[in-house]
């Protein structure tokens, strides 16, 4: 392609570069006739404004970075990304998905963050950041919005699911179904990552207490500490082993996520424990796999979170304060086939 410049368009249209610029961007006062001329000329030359040149001249990069903890092909992240793109791209922004896996990469990323002037804003998803990283974020002059980030935060705005709400609903369901011993199963949680998981654990315990489960009736089962991530199958094997070696086996389990729930169900099956006949299981997320496995679960909506975060970002970018800077999404219980009223032959 011939790469036309604004100058050629100006010449063809018989106006100045400045006018072309104004006309094409739709800013400032420009006569309808002039605009038409310019647009015709631009069209004929197959001309588009150069993003690089615009950025340089205006100081706006028209880019927003979307930082994930984990991979882009994870259900949650992919949905947030889709949501963000849906609202940001029509506004002319490029979204630049980035991801870090593990502690080291995270540190490295935040270490070099302050000097990054190559984006207008940053959206960060599902991080549990240490003080040093938070500090780095604070000193950045970029608007920062968080998705599933602790509320007492260092972000200008944030959106997340209400894990407390979600776990309460799960626990109340189990209570209604007559379950007297319940457990929360969860992978080992490194203290510096994965925010939502630890919050769900706390929420489970709190909800259990509020619903009258004493300590010995509501367990938390955690995997042993490990460095390399465990396969879900291995994790489930470990968790089920711990479950089965409990003084009293619970009749219902809440899992950290759908993934873990499904892995646990498979492992239980290997031990001839059937779900939901012998034991009920509830997941968290309502990812695609939950439907495929007919899993009762607590639904969150990362797609909508992404859209919401992007809207907040847009506000910030315009120098406004978002309507509700810190928002929390209600969680929904999805009743499917892995929960059941407890057998009546127990006291």
Partner DNA sequence: TTGTATGCGTTATCAA
Partner DNA sequence: TTGATAACGCATACAA
What residues line the site for DNA (CB under 7 A)? 3, 5-7, 14-19, 21-22, 24-25, 27-31, 33-35, 47-50, 53-54, 56-59
Minimum distance of its own copies from residue 294's CB (angstroms)? 8
Q: Where are the alpha helices (DSSP H) in the chain?
A: 6-13, 17-25, 32-45, 51-58, 75-88, 102-111, 131-139, 163-176, 195-210, 232-244, 258-270, 288-292, 302-317
Q: Which of 89, 91, 209, 216 binds its own copies (CB under 8 A)?
A: 89
Instruction: Choose among its own copies, DNA, none what residue 95 binds, the Cβ cut-off being 5 to 8 Å by kind.
Output: its own copies
When the beta carbons of 59 and 319 are compared against DNA, the nearer one is: 59
Query: Are the C-beta atoms of 96 and 65 separated by less than 8 Å?
Result: yes
Instruction: Choose among its own copies, DNA, none what residue 335 binds, the Cβ cut-off being 5 to 8 Å by kind.
Output: none
Say which residue the tokens 């647009």 belong to: 39
- Rounded distance, CA 337 to CA 326, Å? 35
Instruction: Choose among its own copies, DNA, none what residue 73 binds, the Cβ cut-off being 5 to 8 Å by kind.
Output: its own copies
- Rounded distance, CA 46 to CA 64, Å? 27
Q: Kindly indicate which of the ranges 26-34, 163-171, 287-295, 308-316 contains the residues binding its own copies, using the contact rule CB under 8 A.
A: 287-295
Query: Are the C-beta atoms of 223 and 194 separated by less than 8 Å?
Result: no
Instruction: Choose among its own copies, DNA, none what residue 212 binds, the Cβ cut-off being 5 to 8 Å by kind.
Output: none
Q: Does 289 bind its own copies (CB under 8 A)?
A: yes
All residues at 6 or more sequence positions from 43 whose CB lies less than 8 Å from its CB, including other chains = none
Q: Which helix (H) or strand (E) holds 99?
A: strand 94-100
Query: In angstroms, how far is CA 314 from the centroid of its own chain?
Result: 18
Q: Does 138 bind its own copies (CB under 8 A)?
A: no
Interface of this chain with its own copies, residues 292 to 311, rule: CB under 8 A: 292-293, 303
Q: Which of 72, 244, 324, 343 binds its own copies (CB under 8 A)?
A: 72
Collapse the DSSP code of 276 into the 3-class scheme (helix H, G, I; strand E, B; otherwise coil) and give the result. coil
- Rounded distance, CA 129 to CA 124, Å? 10
Minimum distance of its own copies from residue 84's CB (angstroms)? 9
**What is the bridge-based pairing of β-strands 121-125 and 94-100?**
unpaired
Q: Which of 53, 244, 246, 324 binds its own copies (CB under 8 A)?
A: 53
Q: Kindly indicate which of the ranges 40-48, 182-190, 240-248, 310-318 contains the residues binding its own copies, using the contact rule CB under 8 A.
A: 40-48
Query: Are the C-beta atoms of 68 and 148 separated by less than 8 Å?
Result: no
- Rounded distance, CA 262 to CA 233, Å? 9
Q: Which residues bind its own copies (CB under 8 A)?
A: 1, 3, 46-48, 50-53, 55-56, 61, 63, 71-75, 77-79, 81-82, 85, 89, 94-99, 112, 114-118, 139-141, 262, 287-293, 303
């Amino acid at each position: 392609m011939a790469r036309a410049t604004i100058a050629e368009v100006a010449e063809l249209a018989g106006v100045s570069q400045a006018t072309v610029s104004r006309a094409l961007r739709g800013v400032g006062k420009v006569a309808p006739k002039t605009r038409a001329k310019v647009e015709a000329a631009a069209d004929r030359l197959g001309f588009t404004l150069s993003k690089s040149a615009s950025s340089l001249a205006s100081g706006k990069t028209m880019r927003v970075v979307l930082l994930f903890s984990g991979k882009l092909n994870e259900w949650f992240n992919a949905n947030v990304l889709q949501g963000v793109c849906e609202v940001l791209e029509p506004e002319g922004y490029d979204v630049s998905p980035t991801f870090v896996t593990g502690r080291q990469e995270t540190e490295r990323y935040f270490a070099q963050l302050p000097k990054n002037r190559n984006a207008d804003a940053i959206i960060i998803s599902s991080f549990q950041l240490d003080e040093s990283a938070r500090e780095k974020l604070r000193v950045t002059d970029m608007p920062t919005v968080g998705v599933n980030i602790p509320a007492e935060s260092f972000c200008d705005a944030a959106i997340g699911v209400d894990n407390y709400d979600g776990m309460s609903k799960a626990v109340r369901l189990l209570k209604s179904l007559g379950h007297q011993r319940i457990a929360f199963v969860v992978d080992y949680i490194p203290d510096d990552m994965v925010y939502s998981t630890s919050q769900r654990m706390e929420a489970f315990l709190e909800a259990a207490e509020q619903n009258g489960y004493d300590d010995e009736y509501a367990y938390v089962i955690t995997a042993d500490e490990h460095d390399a991530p465990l396969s879900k199958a291995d994790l489930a094997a470990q968790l089920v082993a711990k479950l089965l070696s409990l003084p009293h086996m619970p009749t219902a389990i809440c899992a950290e996520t759908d993934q873990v729930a499904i892995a646990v169900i498979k492992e239980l099956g290997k031990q001839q424990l059937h779900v939901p006949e012998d034991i009920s299981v509830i997941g968290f997320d309502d990812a695609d796999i939950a439907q495929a496995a007919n899993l009762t679960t607590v639904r969150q909506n990362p797609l909508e979170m992404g859209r919401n975060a992007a809207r907040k970002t847009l506000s910030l970018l315009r120098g406004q304060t978002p309507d509700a800077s810190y928002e929390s999404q209600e969680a929904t219980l999805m009743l499917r086939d892995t929960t059941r009223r407890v057998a009546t032959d127990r006291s």
